[in-house]
Structure 1
Amino acid sequence: MSELPLTAYKVLTAEQMATLEREESFAGAPIDLADGYIHLSTAEQLTETVDKHFAGQSDLHVAAVDLGSFGAGLKWEESRGGQLFPHLYGGPLLLETVIAYGPLERDAEGRVKLPVAG
């Protein structure tokens, strides 16, 4: 990945999505709270993230997040297979930074579909 993307994605359970909508912020899933940052994935990483960390779960949602909103709180860190993943430090995920969200759906090839605004 030569140029870092401007949008990343957060996978949320139905309960977590409801919290984000109701409170307009989301402090993080248990793994986020344990690690000290909110895990995000790029579009290219999203399907693998869902398959690896959410296997067998239903009623999931995907939120598209504007990475330009975070400034120094956003760090790209090496993780799975040496890939750079976006991690949000120092605060909750705010609803105002989410540009689109919706139920997790897959295309005919099994890839996770990206949420579309509007």
Structure 2
Amino acid sequence: MIYKLLTRDQWAALVRDGVFAGSADDRRDGYIHLSALDQVAGTLAKYFADIDGVVLAEVEPARCGAALRWEPSRGGALFPHLYASLPMDLITRHWWLARGADGAYCLPDDLCA
């Protein structure tokens, strides 16, 4: 599985519209930024630490087809990039993330097992 981090407003728009066309950064770069599970914590810390109300959406990569590409990004690691809008029906699960005692977001327990 791969994951998309969304702000509260982005999640609300996705639920309302049934599709997410991307954040300002996604639109600037021409693709939707996604993360593998082992990349989510770094993405949270780098881009979402100061944002309240973050949703982690799980995406089924096999259903993304040829629009999904794994490309070098932060530190040369391969990240999943979706060269299309993200429709709601590709999302298999989602979680509203909570902050731990240190103020950093925590991943859901069922993803850390």
User: TM-score under structure 2 normalisation?
Assistant: 0.87
- In structure 2, the residue matched to 1:36 is 30
2:57 — aligned with what? 63
Which consecutive unaligned segments of at least 5 residues does structure 1 have? 1-6
Question: Which one has the bigger helix percentage?
Answer: 2
From 41, 46, 61, the equivalent of 1:47 is 41
When the two chains are superposed, the root-mean-square deviation of aligned CA atoms in Å is 1.9
Aligned pair in 2 of structure 1 residues 33, 47: CA closer, same or farther (>3 Å)? same
2:94 corresponds in structure 1 to 101
| Distance in 2 separating the partners of 1:47 and 1:34 | 23
Q: 1:61 to 1:41 in 2, by over 3 A?
A: same
Deviations 1:54-77 (A, max 9, x none): 121111111000111111100000
Q: Does 1:24 align with 2:18?
A: yes
* Matched residue count: 109
Per-residue CA deviation, residues 74-109 of structure 1 (Å, 9 max, x unaligned), is 0000111111000000x2100000000121135689
The answer on 1:82 being equivalent to 2:76 is yes
Q: Say which SS state the counterpart of residue 28 (structure 2) adopts.
A: helix
Three-state SS of the structure 2 residue aligned to 1:9 is: strand
Q: Deviations over 1:37-69 (max 9, x none)?
A: 000001100010010011211111110001111
TM-score by length of 1: 0.84
The aligned amino acid for 1:51 is A
| Letter paired with 1:86 | P
Runs (5+) with no aligned partner, structure 2? none
- Aligned residue identity for 2:12: A
Q: Secondary structure at the match of 1:70?
A: helix
* Structure 1 stretches of 4+ moved >6 Å: none
Identical positions, percent: 41
